[in-house]
Amino acid sequence: MIIGFPGETRADVAELERFLYAARLDAIGVFGYSDEDGTEAATLPGKVRRDTIRRRYDKVSSLADRLVTERAAERVGEVVEVLVESISDGIAEGRAAHQASEVDGSTTIPALPGVAVGDLVSAQVMSSDGADLRAEPLQSGNLGAKPFGTRL
């Protein structure tokens, strides 16, 4: 979400906040607008003051952080498929389907024998911390999940 685009009003920000509450998004990126040379937006009328952009940015960012944290907490108990990206010190870290690489949180699971980078692991979400999830791998026959370590 770009906050402070030329012509933005308080009503626009209120509408954005209503949308964010209703959408229940897993990840929300918030950025403050700034003019960039050579762009059409840099020539638009209705510039929003820097201090107003900062205030609105802080408010929407805080809301976004809270909503993303709530959405992750709602996933506790769900079964997710985790694409393992790294393994270190007995912990495998990867991404569930709703998590984009490097920006939208990650999911950690215990690194069981036979699990390797590139594996797709069925796991049940046990807890959350912000957008990050902690999950436990499911073994074959447990909750109907696929065996862990299914190679892509």
- Fold agreement (2-74, 79-151): no
What pLDDT does 104 receive? Answer: 80
Claim: this prediction has a pTM higher than 0.75: yes
Give residue-wise pLDDT tens across range 23-75.
999 999 999 999 999 999 999 999 999 999 999 999 999 999 999 999 999 99
CATH 2.30.30.50 fits 2-74, yes or no: no
CATH 2.60.40.650 fits 79-151, yes or no: no
DSSP per position, 74-140: HTTT-EEEEEEEEEETTEEEEE-TT--TTTS--EEEE--TT--TTEEEEEEEEEEETTEEEEEEPPT
Give residue-wise pLDDT tens across range 79-136.
999 999 999 999 999 999 999 877 789 999 999 888 899 999 999 999 999 999 999 9
Are the C-beta atoms of residues 116 and 86 closer than 8 Å to each other?
Answer: no
Handedness of CA 135, 136, 137, 140 (dihedral sign): negative
Are the C-beta atoms of residues 105 and 131 closer than 8 Å to each other?
Answer: yes
CA distance 82 to 97: 7
Token pair for 130: 């912000």
Domain spans, the chain: 2-74, 79-151
What pLDDT does 141 receive? Answer: 38
